Homo-oligomer: A and B are copies of this chain.
Amino acid sequence: MVTSHDDVITVLSEDQCWDLLARGELGHLAVSAQGQPEILPVNYVVDGPRILFRTAPGSKLSQLTANRRVAFEVDEHDDSFAASVVVKGNARRIELQREIDEADALMLVSWIPTLKYRWVSISPTMISGRRFARSPEPDRYVASADDS
């Protein structure tokens, strides 16, 4: 009988977190602008200990990620499990041509066609992940539903 979160959640190792990040294509980026949180989905690619994504020049995302603390999340799931990795770190625009060329050589899978873009990298300061088996709700929920 499951009685708490702790019984079903597995904390991922740092290596497991990077494995999950490397498998994904779509992440969720959170940025804070004057106390107002913003969140956007982005395609990304992992390069060593960094996460790279692209922004359109002049876009809101481009402005939001200039030298900012960000949080970045990727999840994967099917009918039997769900897992999520959260990275916190600092975002920085890639400005040097050599670094731009290196980024362009990475196999970023972009779901949206883009001719003009700027690269942004996230250097992680913290990474954490968890995984859990998906299972039916315990009795409390069933009882609540039946009572309604």
Q: Which residues of A contact B (CB under 8 A)?
A: 2-5, 8-9, 26, 28-32, 35-41, 56, 69-73, 75, 77, 82, 84, 86, 88, 101, 104-105, 107, 110-116, 132, 134-141, 144-145, 147-148
Contact = CB atoms under 8 A, between A and B. Distances in A.
Given A82-B111, A104-B148, A114-B137, A32 B37 contact: yes
A112 B37 contact: no
A41 B105 contact: no
A77 B26 contact: yes
Contacts of A86: 39-40
A62 B38 CA distance: 19
A72 B39 contact: yes
B113 A138 contact: yes
A71 B82 CA distance: 22
B36 A28 contact: no
A137 to B, nearest CB: 6
A5 B31 CA distance: 22
Contact of A30 (B3, B4, B39, B113): B39
